[in-house]
Amino acid sequence: MPDYLLRIRRYDPDSGKTAYWDEHTVTLNPRNSVLDAILKVRNEVDGSVGIRCSCQQAICGSCGVRMNGRPGLACNTHLEVAAARGGGAQSTVPQTDGEGPAGVIEVEPMGNMPVIRDLIVDMDAVHWKKIQRVTPYLINRKPVPEREYIVPHENMVDITQTMACIQCGACVSDCLSMEVDPLFVGPAALAKTYRFVGDPRDDQHEQRLRDLSEDPHGIYDCTHCFNCIDACPKEVAPMSQIMRLRRRAGSDHKIVDSNNGHRHEDAFVTLVRDYGLLNEAELLPRSYGGNSWFGKFHPAAGKELLSSLPTVITGVLRGKVSPKIAMFGHKLPGGDLAAIKKLYKKIESRPQRLELNLYISGYEDDPEPAAVAAGSSGEAPQAESSASESESS
Ligand code: SF4
Ligand code: SF4
Ligand code: FES
């Protein structure tokens, strides 16, 4: 079995000492998990290593850490996979046998949350507080039926993805918006919100959406960095759920928030339709002053333009902004622009917006794979993946 060099970030805030890297060589199968390696060190070498874990089956969500710079579940990450990511610094331990370890794995506590000790972060202080912020339970419609609520199959398919969340906090760990704005409600809590906004039994869809649209740290505070999608071990895709909340808020409930989030999106969409490319110089005045060329003459837009003048002047002086492009924007050539307009026309002419949920494919009554194979000519049957489409109400 190969050797792995495990570098564990050790820190005890009560000790008054700074954080340091604690290095151990562990001999384990490459298919063992990073958690196996940490527990081996804790059980056999140093019982003081702080790690939180329980199920060791990627179910309880308690072993979230960063491994070679990426967040995830330690129990669900093979040593060979973590080592292959690289990113681990070189060992400070001299190799005496001339052969290096099979891989170096740096394990750190998750980000955006205070460290309690070593790899244990304070989930209560950040993650759970944000979950509580979004009223994480169903507020049922009245009158309550005498028997059970019947929920359409499409709706359950639609929210199953968010229900898969195990509250591990990996997405919170690497959320760039939260790093800049610690008050941001965040990916996990917003994904949780979609679990109720997409559920027809819930009575507070509009109130939930209005609340999180008006909150300056709500749904429009996400910067689309995709980190939460990469981090999530359960494919909840929190960023996609946030975008769905925005579509529900803006398109379905016509909520125009005081943070200009919805106006900004509207301006974005219109500019791409009209120019084929984003015209940044027009984006700001339209987001604040109204979605037309005249938006720049609105007092709210004037104020914003004035405050961004130093940035624009610096950009022009450094050659990053061309005054001509800033004034008139880019525009695609006629044929390409026509193709884009055609796409818009096709989408906008649909009577209803369709949400494509790729998380679950197939239905219970799809033919069994064996039945498909029985009718084939001996070749391996083609996997049929039917992405289920769920209509948004
Ligand atoms: S996509 Fe949005 S919610 Fe997700 S990590 Fe980035 S900023 Fe945070
Ligand atoms: S959305 Fe994914 S990464 Fe975030 S807490 Fe839930 S399971 Fe963990
Ligand atoms: S120990 Fe439960 S998810 Fe890792």
Strands 120-121 and 115-117: antiparallel
Report in angstroms the alpha-carbon separations of 206 from 135, 213, 216, 274: 13, 10, 17, 31
In the chain, which residues have pLDDT < 50?
Answer: 91-96, 371-393
**Both structure tokens of 359:** 């998380």
**Both structure tokens of 33:** 């998990």
Q: How far apart are CA 58 and CA 77, in angstroms?
A: 10
Task: Determine the distance separating the centroid of ligand 1 and the alpha carbon of 238, expressed in angstroms.
Answer: 8
Q: Would the CB of 176 count as within 6 Å of ligand 1?
A: yes
Pocket of ligand 3 (CB under 6 A): 53-56, 58-63, 73, 75
The residue whose CA is least distant from atom 8 of ligand 1 is: 175
- Positive or negative, the CA dihedral 123, 163, 184, 134 is negative
- Minimum-distance ligand 1 atom for the alpha carbon of 176: 7
Q: Write down the domain spans for the chain.
A: 3-117, 123-252, 261-348
CA proximity to 161, closest of 102, 260, 238: 238
Q: Would the CB of 241 count as within 6 Å of ligand 1?
A: no
pTM: 0.84
Q: What is the pLDDT of residue 379?
A: 35
Q: What is the pLDDT of residue 206?
A: 97
- Minimum-distance ligand 3 atom for the alpha carbon of 59: 3
**6, 41 in Cβ contact below 8 A?**
yes
Ligand at minimal distance from the CA of 189 is 2
- Minimum-distance ligand 2 atom for the alpha carbon of 235: 2
Give the pLDDT confidence of 216-228 residue by residue, as tens digits.
999 999 999 999 9
- Minimum-distance ligand 1 atom for the alpha carbon of 224: 1
Ligand at minimal distance from the CA of 219 is 1
Q: Residue 279 — φ and ψ, nearest 5°?
A: -100, 95
Q: Do domains 3-117 and 123-252 have the same CATH topology?
A: no
Q: How far apart are CA 288 and CA 296, in angstroms?
A: 8
Strands 20-27 and 3-10: antiparallel
Which residue among 165, 178, 192, 194 has the greatest number of ligand 2 atoms within 8 angstroms of its CB, and so is best to mutate?
Answer: 165
CATH no. of 3-117: 3.10.20.30
CA proximity to 329, closest of 368, 276, 287: 276
Q: Residue 166 — φ and ψ, nearest 5°?
A: -110, 15
Ligand at minimal distance from the CA of 61 is 3
Q: Within 10 Å of residue 152's Cβ, how many Cβ atoms?
A: 12
Pocket of ligand 2 (CB under 6 A): 165-171, 187-188, 191, 231-232, 234, 236, 238
Q: What is the pLDDT of residue 340?
A: 94
Q: Would the CB of 187 count as within 6 Å of ligand 1?
A: yes
Q: How far apart are CA 59 and CA 290, in angstroms?
A: 47
Q: Would the CB of 236 count as within 6 Å of ligand 1?
A: no
Which residue among 75, 129, 167 has the greatest number of ligand 2 atoms within 8 angstroms of its CB, and so is best to mutate?
Answer: 167
How is domain 123-252 classified at the architecture level of CATH?
Answer: Orthogonal Bundle (1.10)
Which residue among 70, 112, 166 has the greatest number of ligand 2 atoms within 8 angstroms of its CB, and so is best to mutate?
Answer: 166
Which residue among 54, 65, 119 has the greatest number of ligand 3 atoms within 8 angstroms of its CB, and so is best to mutate?
Answer: 54
Q: Taking the CA of residue 21 as centre, how many other CA atoms within 13 Å lie in the half-sphere pointing to its CB?
A: 16
